[in-house]
Chain A
C-alpha cells in the first residue's frame, strides 16, 4: 500500500506534465492544420501583360510557393457571351494574363504588402489584388487563437515545473537518509541512486502509458462524438509518434530528477 502510494506520488505529477506536453502537441497540430487550411484557401491575384513562368514568380519573392494560371479562355468566353459582336478570339488577344499565387505560410498584413510591392515592381505586372481586409481579419483571429494556445501551454508548463520541483523535494527528503547511509559505507553514486533510477523509470513507463491511453481514448471518442468539427479532425488528437515524444520526455525528466537528487545528497567533506 505504502509502495503504491509512493509510486502514485511520482506518477501523478509526471502524468500531469506529460498531458501538458501532449496538449501542447495537439494544439500545435490543430493550429498548424488551421494555418494550412487558411494558407491553401488564400491567394494573391496577379494581372500581367505577358505570360510569367513559375521561376520568375519565385525570383520575385521566395514566399510564393505555388502559382496557378487562371484559364483566359473561360474568362474570354464569359465576356464574349455578354457582348454579341465581339468574338472570343479577339477578346483573348486583348485579355491580360491572370495568376493566383499561393504562399508558403500564412503571412501578416505587412508581409503581404511587401509581396505586393515586389510584384508591382516587375515590369509586366499591371495589377495585384491581395484581398487585404478579408485576409487581415482572418489572420488576426488566427494569431489570437494561437496566442491563447501558447499562453495556455506555457502556464501548463510552469505549473508542471513546480509540480516536478515539489516532487524532487519529496524524493530528496524520502531518500536522503538512505543515500547518505549508503555513501558512508562506500557506495558510488550510481549504486546510491539505483533505487531511484529503478523506481523513476518504472513510473516514467506507467506515466507515458496512462497519458497515451487518455489521449487515445479521447481520439476514439472524438471520432464517434457526433460533433462534425471533432469528427473531421479527430486524428489530430493523438498520434502514435506522440508516444515516442512522451516516453523520451518522461525518461528525460526522470534521469534529470534522479541526478539532481543524487547530486544534492552528496556528502560534503567538512
Chain B
C-alpha cells in the first residue's frame, strides 16, 4: 500500500532553527491507516501536525505528504493539498459569524462546488453528525461537543484522503468524545481516509485497528 506520509531524518524547529522540537525522526503512514501520535505535553505533537499541513517548514530531512515535499512546496500547491485534507482542531476553529451549515461546507466553497452540491453535502453531513436541527444556528450557540462535531463534519465534507486531528476530544466530556471517535472510526473504515490523530490519551474502547507513534526525547517511535 502506498505511503500518504513519509518522514525521514526529519527535524522540526522554531526560532529560525535554534529551538529543535523533533530531531532526526523517521516514520511512514500508509493509505487507509488510523494512526495515533501520543506523547507528554510539550513533546512536539502539535508541532508535527503543523508540519503535516504545511504551517511549519521542516528544518532538515524529508517530509512528504501526498507525495509532495513539504520543504519546498509552493503556496499554490500547498493550497491545493490543504483543500484535499480534513483538519480538526482542539479549539474547533469554526467561523463564528457563519451558520453551522456554512461552516460544514467551507471546503466545498473553497473548491468552487455549486450550491446544489453544497446543499446536498451539508444535509448529508449534518445528518451524519446528528446536527440537522442545528443547521442554521451559529457555533457559539452550540455546546463544545456539538462544535467539534461540526469540525468533524467539515473535515469529512470532501471525502479527504487524509484527516489530521489535533487533540479532537481534548475539551470534551466522555460522551462527546465517544461520538467523535465513532465518527473518525467510520471515516477510516467506510471512506478509506487516512487518519492521523495527535492526542495525549488513546480512548479505552476503539473498534478498528490502529497504529501508535510516540514522541519522546525529540524522536518519534513506533509503539507495538
Contact = CB atoms under 8 A, between A and B. Distances in A.
Interface in B127-180: 154
Contacts of B87: 184-185
Contacts of A270: 14, 50, 55-57
Contacts of B53: 184
A184 B57 contact: no
Contacts, number: 50
B81 A181 contact: no
Contacts of B56: 269-270
B110 A182 contact: yes
A182 B55 contact: no
B139 to A, nearest CB: 11
12 contacts: A181-B94, A184-B53, A184-B55, A185-B82, A185-B83, A185-B106, A185-B154, A186-B85, A187-B110, A188-B79, A191-B109, A269-B54
B95 A178 contact: yes
Interface residues of B, number: 27
A178 B138 CA distance: 14
Contact of B110 (A178, A186, A267): A186
A269 B55 contact: yes
B169 to A, nearest CB: 20
Interface in A176-205: 177-178, 181-182, 184-188, 191
A267 B55 contact: yes
Contacts of A191: 109-110
Interface in B78-104: 78-85, 87, 93-97
Most chain B beta-carbon contacts within 10 A, residue among A177, A178, A184, A185: A185
B83 A181 contact: no
Given A178-B95, A178-B97, A270-B14, A185 B55 contact: no
Nearest to B53: A184
A191 B80 CA distance: 14
Interface string A140-173: 0000000000000000000000000000000000
Contacts of A181: 93-95, 106
Most chain B beta-carbon contacts within 10 A, residue among A182, A191, A267, A269: A269
Contacts of A186: 78-85, 107, 110
A185 B56 CA distance: 15
